[in-house]
Amino acid sequence: MTLRKPRSRLKTAVASTVLAALLVARPGPGLAQDQGVSIIRDTEIEEILHKDADPVFVAAGLDPQAVVIHIIADKELNAFSTGGQQLFLNTGLIMEAKTPNQLVGVIAHETGHIAGGHIARSGAAGRAALGPMLVGIGLGVLAALAGAPDAAASLVFSSTYFGQLSVLGYSREQESRADQAAATYLEKAGLSGRGLVDFFNNFRYQEVFDDEKKYPFFRDHPLTDDRIGALATRVEQQPHYGAQDSSGSIDRHALMRAKLEGFLSGPGQTLADYPETDQSFPARYARAIALYRQTETEPALKAIDALIADQPDDPYLWELKGQVLFEAGRAKEAEPAHRRSVELKPGAPLLRVNLGQTLIAVGDPAKLDEAIDQIHRALGLEPDNALGWRLLAEAYDGKNEPGLARLAAAEQNFYLGQLLEARTFAVHAREMLKKDSPEWRRATDIILASRPSPAQLKELGVTG
Ligand SMILES: [Zn+2]
């Protein structure tokens, strides 16, 4: 099984230099003797996680929109939090949480670390390591790259990298405070604390393992009988201890797990776990994704169309349909599907990026203006979307706007944390853009933000 790599259409030699430079760009330190893991982006899954977690964030006094939930494509069981209210969940943990209440319990525990300021212990080094370079990759793109290591795979992070971020080794006292805080938040949100206790009990056996055999989560958050006992006693006393997961949240949880399995496990595994006899929506969804990953385009499209017939207003089904068509090299047919997903979910930047990418790939110069508009709107909502900037560079290249293309490339590198490359593109952009225009000034800002030495600034003729 080989899936196609994402295409990019290069019209001119200039374009290929710009894009080649972009594609060899690598995020962050220490890439990859190990297999590497990616941060994955998926509007549907992010929405599901927020729907379940936001009441807990609110109960903790946090602004749910300020908490960033990152999903790491890694089978290891782990969750951790870092400065800037960033919460990281491994897909392994999401898959191991058997109920929404278990998952939200773990999230509440991590929220306890965030709200309690326990992450401060990781110090400046941890925050600096994070920087602006945590660039996610679409689930579909990730699947398309499976077994096809190429330049775009540079968006894959070394798993050691996350390992270093997560090894904080909370003290026992911090662990128990986070547990107690979790119980408080869950109660306040009208949820039971039982799931967290169940989750810990499921992994109680890990307690007797040596550290290296334990899941990372239980290395950093050591389980003990006392700890589980104290938590259980507390949550059993809460008025909402008996609260059940709503049917809506059970359905969303099942859908999320099916989607993750479809994209991240081998298609054979997915088809075995979700056999034809299972006609539930999540099972049909997982099978459609597995077919797509086997490059069985027609059966995949048929399966997706059947799902759309049942749920015509589901933006993510249209997104998936667009993606299958796009990856099959059928950009023209992908366009209306992506357009429908944007109509159904206009506030979702990733869906607009998909549409913009498709409009570029259609290869009709008349569509480039709309591509630029769509990507700009996405970037207005999510300025650090590096893929959006890369596509914008491509679109401006197609429009023969070399200054704007280079500025977009500078932005892309800037948000990847590659300041030197960002500066190089910004310097070229500045030479081509109209002096004192907003774009020219933005290029200047990027140069200044790239931490040049005074001598370099002088050489460039840039003054603050
Ligand atoms: Zn903890």
Q: What is the pLDDT of residues 178-190, one digit of tens each?
A: 999 999 999 999 9
Q: Is the pLDDT of residue 88 over 80?
A: yes
Sign of CA dihedral 107, 113, 116, 117: negative
Element (H, E) at 148: none
Distance 182 CA to ligand 1 centre (A): 10
Note whether 215 and 80 are same-domain residues: yes
CA 123 to ligand 1 centroid distance, Å: 17
Please state the φ and ψ torsions of residue 93, each to the nearest 5 degrees: -70, -40
Q: How many domains does the chain have?
A: 2
Taking the centre of ligand 1 as the mean of its atom positions, its distance from the CA of residue 222, in whole angstroms, is 8
Ligand 1 centre to CA of 231 (Å) is: 13
Q: Give domain status of residue 246, yes or no.
A: no
For residues 385 and 379, the answer to whether their CB atoms sit within 8 Å is yes
CA distances from 160 to 132, 164, 288 (A): 18, 6, 33
Residue 162's pLDDT band, with cuts at 50, 70 and 90, is low
Percent of the chain at pLDDT exceeding 70 = 81
Domain span at residue 366 reads: 253-402
Q: Say whether both 223 and 271 belong to one domain.
A: no
Q: Are residues 196 and 331 in the same domain?
A: no
Task: Calculate how far, in angstroms, residue 110's C-alpha sits from the geometric centre of ligand 1.
Answer: 6
Gap from CA of 262 to ligand 1 centroid (Å): 30
Last residue of a domain, one of 402, 418, 451: 402
Ligand 1: centre distance to CA 167 (Å): 11
pLDDT at 124 over 50: no
What pLDDT, on the 0 to 100 scale, is given for residue 140?
61
Compute, in angstroms, the gap from residue 93 CA to the centroid of ligand 1.
Answer: 14
Residues 37 and 162 occupy one common structural domain: yes
* Domain membership flag for residue 356: yes
Bridge partners of residue 138, in order along the sequence? 41
User: How far does the centroid of ligand 1 lie from the alpha carbon of residue 196, in Å?
Assistant: 12
The CATH number for 339's domain is 1.25.40.10
Q: What is the pLDDT of residue 323?
A: 95
Burial of 308 (0-12, 13-18, 19+ CB in 10 A): middle
Q: % helix / strand / coil in the chain, to the nearest 5?
A: 65, 5, 30
Q: Reduced to 3 states, what is the DSSP secondary structure of residue 98? A: coil
Please indicate, yes or no, whether residues 230 and 257 belong to a single structural domain of this protein: no
Q: Is residue 192 part of a domain?
A: yes
Q: Is residue 216 part of a domain?
A: yes
Query: Residue 117: what pLDDT?
Result: 80
Looking at the fold, whether 324 and 396 belong to one and the same domain comes out as: yes
Query: For residue 14, with 0-12 CB atoms within 10 Å meaning exposed, 13-18 middle and 19 or more buried, which class applies?
Result: middle
Q: Separation of 40 CA from ligand 1 center, angstroms?
A: 23
Indicate whether 208 belongs to any domain.
Answer: yes
- Using the mean position of ligand 1's atoms as its centre, give its distance from the Cα of residue 30 in Å: 26
Instruction: Please write the tens of the pLDDT for every residue from 209-258.
Output: 777 777 777 777 778 888 899 999 999 999 999 999 999 999 999 999 99
Using only the alpha carbons of the chain, give its radius of gyration: 23
193 or 212, greater pLDDT: 193
More confident residue, 83 or 285: 285
CA of 265 to the centre of ligand 1 (A): 28
392 in any annotated domain? yes
Is the pLDDT reported for residue 22 higher than 50? no
- Ligand 1 centroid vs 170 CA: distance in angstroms? 6
Report the percentage of the chain scoring pLDDT > 90: 61
Instruction: Compute the distance from residue 323 Cα to the ligand 1 centre, in Å.
Output: 38
Place of tokens 């190990």: 34
Q: Are residues 130 and 76 in the same domain?
A: yes
* Rounded distance from Cα 169 to ligand 1 centre (Å): 9
Q: Which of 402, 420, 441 is the last residue of a domain?
A: 402
pLDDT reading at 33 higher than 50? no
- Reported as a single tens digit per residue, the pLDDT across 384-442 is 888 899 999 999 999 999 999 999 999 998 888 888 999 999 999 999 999 999 999 99
Residue 69: inside a domain: yes
Cβ-based neighbour number of residue 2 at 10 Å? 9
Instruction: Locate 80 and state its tokens.
Output: 């951790």
CATH number of the domain within which 171 lies: 3.30.2010.10
One domain, residues 232 and 259: no
DSSP state of 243: P
Distance, CA 221 to ligand 1 centroid (Å)? 4
Ligand 1: centre distance to CA 108 (Å) = 10
Last residue of a domain, one of 349, 383, 402: 402
Encode 394-417: b = buried (16+ Cβ within 10 Å), e = exposed: bbbbbeebbbbbbbbbbbbbbbbb
- Residue in this structure with the two tokens 């054979």, named with its chain if needed: 268
Extract the tokens encoding 323: 């993606």
Contact predicate 453/433, CB 8 Å: no
Are 194 and 264 members of one domain?
Answer: no
On whether residue 65 sits in a domain, the answer given is: yes
The confidence score (pLDDT) of residue 35 equals 57
Assess whether 185 and 99 both reside in one domain. Answer: yes
Cβ contacts of residue 270 below 8 Å, gap of 6+? 261, 262, 286, 287, 289, 290, 293
39 and 133 fall within a common domain: yes
pTM: 0.84
Please indicate, yes or no, whether residues 272 and 198 belong to a single structural domain of this protein. no
Please check whether residue 388 is in contact with residue 378, taking contact to mean a CB–CB distance below 8 angstroms: yes
DSSP letters along 45-56, please? Answer: HHHHHHHHHHHH
Q: Which pLDDT belongs to residue 214? A: 79
Is a pLDDT exceeding 70 seen at residue 345? yes
Mean pLDDT of the chain, nearest integer: 83
Higher pLDDT, 84 or 31: 84
Distance 175 CA to ligand 1 centre (A): 5
